Amino acid sequence: MLLSLLKILLFFAVVLLLALGAVHLSETGQMLRLEYGGTEIALTPVKALVALLVLMVTAWLIFKLLGLLLAVLRFLVGDETAINRHFARSREKRGYAAFGEGMLAVASGEGKLAQDKAAKAAKYLNQPHLTNLLAAQAAETAGDRTRAIEIYRDLLSDDRTRFVGIRGLMRQKLAEGETHKALLLAQKAYALKPRHKEVQDTLLELQTKEHDWKGARQTLKDKRAQGDLPKDVALRRDAVLALQEASDVLAHGNSISAREAAISAAKASPDLIPAAVLAARSYAAQKDYRNASRILEKTWSVLPHPDIAAAYAEIVPDEKPDTRLKRFDNLMRKNPDHGETRLLKAELLISCEDFPGARRALGDLAETHPNVRTLSIMAAIERGEGADDSVVRGWLTRALTASRGPQWVCDKCHNVMHEWAPVCDSCGGFDTLTWREPDNVRTTPSATGAEMLPLLVGAPKPAPAPEPVAPHPAPTDAVPDLTDPVVPHPPGPAEPEGPRPVRELDMPAVPPGIVPRESDYRRVDDPSATVTTPEPVKPAKAPARPEAAEPLIITPAPARKPDAAAADQSARPISEAEPVMIRPDVEPSDGSDRDKDRTRP
């Protein structure tokens, strides 16, 4: 408020002074006289002041016109002038407008429009490091990789855009699948800007894909030094890289370096199971069984795994089952309540043929967490305790559709791998495999329970083949007596042509020479048939035959279940198995006897 008041007072003071000066000049009688070429001009003070102002304006206009004339002359000559600067400013304005529109087109995904705007911006602007970058991005958006590669190569010639050009070429090679060339470009880009996070991650990923474990460890060390990774994550990844480096060194025969790398990896990350297994085997190869056992026991306390148990068994390969069980107590005590420990103990007790102890060690895992392994162990226990094959097959049948249990599963893409690897085969993720049970993954049935049983408990012994029963040959010297008429078969269905089938019969249980009764014969398969074939008998004396003897017709009794005797008779030929009529009243005789009977009164 005070400042505004002062400004107002100052304004009025200036106006007052000007007014007083004008009054003083108007009241004075002095005149300004100008004389030039015999002409005298007399001006009052006010007129003199106005004339001075007009003169100053005229002089300013004259100088401006002279400057404009000089600029036109220089423009015609070709020198840079204000006119040039005017047109240049106009072109620059239109170029930046096209550049901005091109950036918006790239952001919106309009590749063709972005290329047009990039060409227009390059025409108006004399800044190739900007226009080339826009043209490269526009070519990428439009899908013109050839044009994009050409522009990125042009960017390599300028120090300001060399990193951008290398990074652009690296991305193009990655898109084309040329990982080796992309790795070389990533190394150059990393040398220019080592703190660039995207380049660091890309370089580390490419180094792991190309199995450059040593370079990957150095890149990981730089990321950790720059504070881009937490300490525990950096140690874990360094352990994984050290493990793979040890595996490659071991493949080339350098066991000492491999052992040192594996030991350092196991110490850095105790839950890295492959590192512990490799370190233990390296110790065992050097006859250092104590350190081999110690490193496996430490890893078992963190995360039990079947590979650890297998490596622990390899320390003393030729030992008895009971001795191995005692030695494995040191390992199982490290994590006694874990499911893998219970499964391992059950397997060791099965090898010792302690099946009740194996059942107690397994507990309720077969019910609470059924998988292929637990159900198979339960089937082995039932088999060892003498259960029926149906019980064993029941457990094995459940194992067919049960889960396979924990496996190496990728946390990124949920891919299941049979063996551990630092890089996932599906998504290429680094150190993403975890030992756990997959989500909603079941095994496909590939065999029946009966087919799996021999794999677990051994194939059953084949039953002995029955001994062949030699048929009794029919006597050839005995000639049946057919002097008496034979009663034909009663009406019934005709017998089929071809050889007659063997029938199961019961032989009459009567002594030789006695006529059997109807109830003494039993037929199983064909109760409606009547036996009329006589049985050959040896000649024997018998009472005289009556003149009018009626023929004997044998009707079989109803069928009954065959016993052992009937089964034995069914294996004989039909000539001996079928019952025959015995006629003790018929006496075989020769021709003299027949004539004698005829002359008898």
DSSP annotation string for 262-300: HHHHHHH-TT-HHHHHHHHHHHHHTT-HHHHHHHHHHHH
Tokens (6 digits) for 586: 């018929």
Q: Could you tell me which of 94, 159, 175, 164 has the C-alpha nearest to residue 135?
A: 164
Q: Regarding beta strands 522-523 and 416-417, do their DSSP bridges make them parallel or antiparallel, or are they unpaired? A: unpaired
DSSP annotation string for 477-510: S------S--PPPPS-PPPPSSSPPP--EE----
Please report the pLDDT score of residue 281 as a whole number: 87
Please report the pLDDT score of residue 507 as a whole number: 52
The type of residue at 198 is: E
Q: Which residue has the higher pLDDT, 424 or 579?
A: 424
Average pLDDT over residues 253-281: 79
Give the separation between CA 489 and CA 495, rounded to whole angstroms: 11
Q: What is the DSSP letter of 356?
A: H
Q: How do residues 181-202 score in pLDDT, each as one tens digit?
A: 999 999 999 999 988 989 998 9
Distance of CA 278 to the CA centre of its chain: 24
Mean pLDDT of the chain: 75
pTM metric for this prediction: 0.54
Answer whether 432's CB lies under 8 Å from 411's CB. Answer: yes
Give the separation between CA 104 and CA 491, rounded to whole angstroms: 109
Q: How do residues 308-343 score in pLDDT, each as one tens digit?
A: 999 999 999 888 999 999 999 999 999 999 999 999
Give the separation between CA 200 and CA 221, rounded to whole angstroms: 11
Average pLDDT over residues 30-53: 77
Place of tokens 């009556």: 546
The listed range with the strongest mean pLDDT (301-315, 436-450, 511-525, 583-597) is 301-315
Average pLDDT over residues 236-251: 79
- Residue 558 burial by CB count (10 A; 0-12/13-18/19+): exposed, middle or buried? exposed
End-to-end distance of the chain based on CA atoms, in angstroms? 186
Give the separation between CA 313 and CA 293, rounded to whole angstroms: 10
- In this structure, of 48-62, 281-295, 546-560, the range with the lowest mean pLDDT score is 546-560
| CA distances to 150, 160, 567 from 121, in Å | 18, 19, 108
Q: How many helices (H) and strands (E) does the chain have?
A: 25, 7
pLDDT band of residue 527 (cuts 50, 70, 90) is very low
Average pLDDT over residues 282-306: 90
Check whether 494 has a pLDDT greater than 60: no
Q: Which residue has the higher pLDDT, 363 or 41?
A: 363
Buried b (16+ CB within 10 A) or exposed e, 112-150: ebbbbbbebbbebbeebebbbbbbbbbbbbbebeebbbe
Give the separation between CA 373 and CA 381, rounded to whole angstroms: 12
Please report the pLDDT score of residue 453 as a whole number: 39
Please report the pLDDT score of residue 518 as a whole number: 54
Please report the pLDDT score of residue 245 as a whole number: 79
**Helix (H) or strand (E) run with residue 33 in it:** strand 32-36
Please report the pLDDT score of residue 182 as a whole number: 92
Average pLDDT over residues 128-146: 90
Check whether 465 has a pLDDT greater than 70: no
Task: Specify which residues 42 forms β-bridges with.
Answer: 33
Q: How do residues 62-88 score in pLDDT, each as one tens digit?
A: 998 998 888 778 777 766 666 677 778
Q: How do residues 403-426 score in pLDDT, each as one tens digit?
A: 888 999 998 888 999 888 888 888
DSSP annotation string for 440-490: T--PPP-S-HHHHHHHHH-PPPPPPPPPPPPPPPPPSS------S--PPPP
pLDDT band of residue 48 (cuts 50, 70, 90) is confident
Ramachandran angles phi, psi of 129, nearest 5°: -65, -20
Give the separation between CA 132 and CA 118, rounded to whole angstroms: 8
Give percent of the chain with pLDDT exceeding 70: 70
Check whether 150 has a pLDDT greater than 60: yes
Answer whether 161's CB lies under 8 Å from 129's CB. Answer: yes
Check whether 523 has a pLDDT greater than 80: no
| CA distances to 220, 423, 432 from 212, in Å | 12, 13, 18
| CA distances to 111, 163, 228 from 196, in Å | 28, 11, 11
Torsion of the alpha carbons at 39, 44, 49 and 53, rounded to the nearest 10: -40
The listed range with the strongest mean pLDDT (137-141, 222-226, 465-469, 520-524) is 137-141
Answer whether 305's CB lies under 8 Å from 408's CB. Answer: no
Please report the pLDDT score of residue 254 as a whole number: 60
Please report the pLDDT score of residue 349 as a whole number: 94
pLDDT band of residue 29 (cuts 50, 70, 90) is low
The listed range with the strongest mean pLDDT (226-230, 407-411, 513-517) is 407-411
pLDDT band of residue 383 (cuts 50, 70, 90) is very high
